[in-house]
Amino acid sequence: MGDDMTGKKINKAKRQIGDQTTKGAVIGVVIYVLNANDVDPMLISLLVPIVSSMLAWLSTKIGDPDLACMFNPHVDDETKK
């Protein structure tokens, strides 16, 4: 039983790492595209936290709202029991 719980925790951690990596890549692409199109650096620095917040909000809609993780499916409290 202990091994099963450890496996679940590892899978959850891997999904969170994948989620954070995906969000980081999206932010990097946004910065690259804005920079390649000669957008003012000050505007880029103001847009990065907005994009990050939008990705976190999107994650709550796709995955687990408590973790803001796209790859962790939302589980109701009733199904946990």
Q: 71 pLDDT band (50/70/90 cuts)?
A: low
- In degrees rounded to 5, what are phi and psi of residue 20? -65, -35
CA dist 28 and 67 (Å) reads 22
Domain range for 27: 2-80
* Domain count for the chain: 1
What is the arithmetic mean of pLDDT over 62-71? 68
Give the H or E element holding residue 9: helix 2-36
pLDDT (tens digit, 9 = 90+) per residue, 16-40?
888 889 899 999 999 999 999 999 9
pLDDT at residue 60 in the model: 81
CB-CB neighbours of 39 under 10 Å: 13
